[in-house]
Structure 1
Amino acid sequence: MQGDGKNRLTVDIYGQQYRLSGKASVNHIRTVAGFVDDKMNEIANGNHRLDTAKIAVLTAVNIADEYYRLRQEYEELLKILQEDAKEKS
């Protein structure tokens, strides 16, 4: 960790080196970068004619879709828990 409280490291995503920094742990940053790399490779393997930019955009769209689906599930579960807590009180 540097004096500014940020961790810095170099990661490989889809064959490119990126210097990342953030307040998250080095392990977390590596895990997230690995997730993106895996998703890009998954999309590239299914679409051999796509260039890197299109693979990156499709990866972003897929990750955003997963995020919004999980957020919706979370909000629905939270609502159920809140209703359950009201019934018990």
Structure 2
Amino acid sequence: MNVVTVIINGIEYNLKGDEQEEYLHRISTYVDKKVKNILENNNKLSTSSAAILSAVNVADDMFKTKERNERLEQEIQKLKKIQTAYENKLKQTQEFNTKLEQRLKNYEENTHQEEDEDKIKKLQKEIEMTKNAAEDYVKENTKLKLENKESRFKIQTLKYKLIDLQNKLQENQINLAKERKRKNPLLKDKKK
């Protein structure tokens, strides 16, 4: 467990956590900026009021990130369904193409009569069209896979931000409790 001394709004705090020291400093800097920003906008607020408003702001950030994360998860599910549909179409097209090629091959092998060039050309056009369709499906499938990968990366990033915001909220609550204890001497007397 790491113990880090940080300064938030001019007051030293000891943070304990399993996270890296750099991470704990980054969180405390974020909270310090939130508190100072609120105090700058209203210098009549007490430190505890600024801490509460900071906690509300962090919670707002966290909920918005969570909602955005859920929307991205739904989008990924839709993309997966589309990708599956394209993969199925691609498989069907490839199977159809294989059958056409086999028919053409059988026709060429089994016929000893004069070749019917129109039928061969028609089959060749069909094969070409199915090959083009298969190539289009492959391109679309590749594009969907890239979009899916990007969405997964965004979701992972948002998950880390959500965890970060949850940690910040927890720290703000701890700091608020400490601040209340420090500001309210009655709490100290009751515990004695």
TM-score by structure 2 length? 0.43
**C-alpha displacement at 1:79, in angstroms?**
0.8
Residue in 2 that maps onto 1:43: 38
In structure 2, C-alpha distance between the alignment counterparts of 1:85 and 1:14, rounded to whole Å: 47
Larger RCO (CA within 8 A; separation ≥ 6): 2
User: Whose helix proportion is higher, 1 or 2?
Assistant: 2
2:82 maps to which residue?
Answer: 87
Displaced runs of 4+ in structure 1, greater than 4 A?
A: none
% identical equivalent positions: 31
Matches for 1:42-81 after TM superposition, within 5 Å: 42-81=37-76
Q: Which amino acid aligns with 1:45?
A: E
Among 17, 24, 27, which residue is 2:22 paired with? 27
Unaligned runs of 5+ in 1: 1-5
RMSD over aligned CA atoms reads 0.6
Per-residue CA deviations over 1:49-85 (Å, capped at 9, x if unaligned) read 1000100000000110011011101110111011111
SS of 1:48 mapped into structure 2: coil
Q: Which residue of 2 aligns with 1:16?
A: 11
Give the match's secondary structure for 1:36. Answer: helix
Matched positions, count: 84
Return the structure number with greater strand share. 1
Q: CA deviation at 1:87?
A: 1.6
Question: What secondary structure sits across from 2:12 in the alignment?
Answer: strand
Stretch of structure 1 that moved more, 60-69 or 78-87: 78-87
| Gap runs ≥5 in structure 2 | 85-192
Q: Quick check: which has more Rg, 1 or 2?
A: 2
